[in-house]
Structure 1
Amino acid sequence: MTTTPETPSSHVGAAIRRLRDLHGWTAQQLADRCAEVGAKEITAAVVANIETGRRTKEGRRRRDVTIDEWMALALALDVPPLALLMPADGPVAVTPEVAMDQMRLATWTSGLTPNEGLPSVFFSRQARALREYYSAQAAIEAAKSADVAANQASGTAAETVATTRRDEKLQELARALDPLLRAGTVPASLPQEWLTVMTIQGWLDAGLIPVKEELKGGEQEHQEEAER
């Protein structure tokens, strides 16, 4: 019998079964979880078909995984979508002619490196937005840690150091956010008060369309407090 290359759908199916077992769920329980996140069409029968692939006698899958199912199942299983593509071992056959190991697959799908060789201008341009999201999220996490430290600091000297550190992280965050805000994207995990502070301090352009109206109220309150 001819050996069938393991396709992305095969790896996703195997990963779903493995992760479902780690949760201690039956196919029905996973289907119930899918329904809770809004994917009611993923029934227990669908879960079973995805996991097994309803293979032919030759071992080929009759049932591949759709993008919609892949995303919904990752959400239901509480894992990054990319984790469902990762095999327990061995490469992934992206196509019958192209296989990638785990590192190559992870960096390619994340936009960190091209499929092979040096990045083309086209690849770099398309991957730039992904890298900007990663940079912004890292800056948000650093600012959150600095904010917690500033709020917990005790004593004048410690408070001064912690507050300065927080301001430095907010300035770094403003630089990371600038390209996203100019593209009309405001990260959902970003506290509104941070946007207000960064704008008032001049670290962010107050004229950026996505935040301009929201920041007016904060700027007005700041001015009123200064006048009192």
Structure 2
Amino acid sequence: MHSHETFGDVIAAQIRRHRARLGMNRHQLAEQCARLGRPDITYAVIVSIETGRSSGEGKQRRRLDVDDWFVLALALATPPLLLLLPLGSEATVPTVPAADSRDPYTVWQWMTGEATPTLDGPIDGRYVPDSRQIAGTGQTWAAAWATAAYPVSLYPELARRRETAHKARLRASLDPSAQTEYVDRLDELAQIVNDMTRASLTLPELSPELVEDLKRLELLDHPDQINPKGIE
């Protein structure tokens, strides 16, 4: 039987939990929301979110939209995804109404694109990726997910290689014998930059010095698409 708990239930419980962690009452949380530009998230709204009470009869929680979620998380000094997927404090979280709950870290990886959702099953105790074809494309759902999630692996790798190249450049500026290492690090940076331009992804800023050296060494497939920091 699938769980009837919703992500709204999870977030409401985590708002209460993190308020207690901070020693913050509801009035104080409302003040923090107002400081972030959301004075409409009032004490009464927070009561409704946390308890499910409404001004009318019965139990009805105020619906949270994405903007509410983000503001409340920042007001509580908590990474927004942890309000939704409380790692370490809950055994399971909901997924979709037609599927079973999963442990928070599994769903975390779905949310970040690090893993492909496995909603079908369990089959012999195992969940399996969705292999159905998407109408009109011939592509499986899992393959379409992988295509959409491709940037997830590229951006952190670009950040790592950019920092490594920057440090290698500093070493080379002090020690000419380190120049070869710098070129090697530039080549690694160029590989990920080229992957991102081929995928038509927006590149984060690169320092003018790195861009100049990448172009000078002709390491870029599309040098005209790369602009250094601060240059339009």
Tell me, yes or no, whether TM beats 0.5. Answer: yes
The corresponding residue for 1:33 is: 32
Alignment gaps of 5+ in structure 2: 119-127, 132-139
TM-score normalised according to structure 1 size: 0.69
Pairwise CA distance, 1:142: 4.1
Alpha-carbon distance in 1 for matches of 2:59, 2:184 = 56
Judging changes above 3 Å, is the alpha-carbon distance between structure 1 residues 206 and 47 closer, same or farther for their aligned structure 2 residues?
same
Aligned to 2:184: 168
Give distance in 1, aligned partners of 2:78 and 2:21. 12
RMSD: 3.5
1:101 to 75, 100, 103: 103
8 A Cα contact 1:8 1:92, kept in partner = yes
Tell me the secondary structure at the aligned position of residue 175 of structure 1: helix
Structure 1 residues 25 and 60, CA gap change in structure 2 (3 angstroms): same
2:203 is aligned with 1:186? yes
- The whole-number CA distance in structure 2 between the counterparts of 1:104 and 1:167 is 39
- What amino acid sits opposite 1:15 in the alignment? Q
One-letter code aligned to 1:187: P
CA 1:70–1:184 in 2, change beyond 3 Å: closer, same or farther?
Answer: same
Where in structure 2 are the equivalents of 1:148-163 lying within 5 Å? 148=167, 151=170, 156=175, 160-161=177-178
Q: Is 1:118 paired with 2:163?
A: no
1:202 aligns with 2:202: no
Amino acid at match of 2:67: D
- TM-score, scaled to structure 2: 0.68
Alignment partner of 1:35: what SS?
helix
Q: Which has the higher helix share?
A: 1
Deviation at 1:85, TM superposition (A): 1.3
- The 1:150–1:103 alpha-carbon spacing in structure 2 relative to 1, beyond 3 Å, is same
CA distance in 2, matches of 1:31, 1:67: 17
Deviations 1:90-145 (A, max 9, x none): 22122344222223211222223232113643343344343424332233134325
Query: Which amino acid in the other structure matches residue 122 of structure 1?
Result: W
Assess, with a 3 A threshold, how the Cα gap between structure 1 residues 32 and 55 changes in structure 2: closer, same or farther: closer
> What is the number of residues matched between the two proteins?
204
Name the stretch that deviates more: 25-34 or 62-71.
25-34
Q: Flag the structure with more relative contact order, 1 or 2, with Cα contacts below 8 A and sequence separation at least 6.
A: 1
Give structure 1 stretches of 5+ with no counterpart.
219-228
